[in-house]
Amino acid sequence: ASGGELRYCNVVITAGPTRERIDPVRYISNDSSGKMGYALAEAAVSMGAQVTLISGPVSLPRPSGVKVVNVEGALEMHAAALAAVQAGADIFISAAAVADYRPVTTADQKMKKSAEQLQIALTRNPDILADVAAAPNAPFTVGFAAETQKVEEYARGKLERKNINLIIANDVSRKDIGFNSDDNEVSLISRDEVIPIAKQSKQALAGQLMSQIVRQYQKTQST
């Protein structure tokens, strides 16, 4: 790659799961591997971008040439994302699998077992992507929608509800793609276009996705 289409561009990417603490040794989380977000970060670097990767706990090597901000819980990821956007971002890609809920309280000490049943009260986490899209001088915003049915319809709903520029729709009912798989096949949906991207490794897909994201971003810049 030469000069790079994203030279002078700040790209912020969230990746991986979040970990919502119950006590010092226990948490609620999910199976996100972080692979898609990390691959997108590498693709953006190779296009010349300055990349900030806000990452939940994953077991992936730290990509070179990327500023990594390690976070645990959704509230921490939310604060890091808004700080990165406030510092100046052109494109924000939300690839993290943010936990929808967190425990209302986190115990200071390891909880002891006692009663036969235990209930843990949960509260909704903020929507990081929607808050970034609503921020003053919001960047071009890109989200992911993992769906098991009516993939395009539900993805388009999220595009509108979160008021973002692009959504990458992913059919997670299929075992051969998506969560924890090395391959993925997606559609990129904007207000007026649907661009299918064929099944391939997350690495290769990331390159194609970044090119399409940049094309759509550039359309918003040329007016």
126 annotated among ligand-binding-site residues: yes
Looking at this protein, which amino acid is placed at residue 73?
G
Closest contact distance (angstroms) between CB of 130 and ligand C5P is: 7
| CB 196 to ligand C5P: min, Å | 19
Nearer to ligand C5P, 18 or 50 (CB): 18
Annotated active-site residue 30? The verdict is yes
Q: Is 144 annotated as a binding residue?
A: yes
Contact call for residues 138 and 90 (beta carbons, < 8 A): no
The minimum distance between CB 158 and ligand C5P, in angstroms, equals 5
Taking the least distance from each CB to ligand C5P, the nearer of 49 and 145 is 145
List of residues contacting ligand C5P (CB under 6 A):
74, 94, 96, 98, 125, 127-129, 143-145, 158
**In terms of C-beta density within 10 A (0-12 exposed, 13-18 middle, 19 or more buried), how is residue 197 classed?**
middle
Q: How far is CA 185 from CA 30, 168, 177, 203, in A?
A: 21, 10, 7, 12
Catalytic residue among 30, 137, 170, 184: 30
Tell me: is residue 150 an annotated ligand-binding position.
no
Give the HSE-up count for residue 49: Cα atoms under 13 Å, Cβ half-sphere: 27
The response to whether 158 counts as a known ligand-binding position is: yes
Question: Rounded distance, CA 223 to CA 221, Å?
Answer: 6
Q: List active site positions.
A: 30
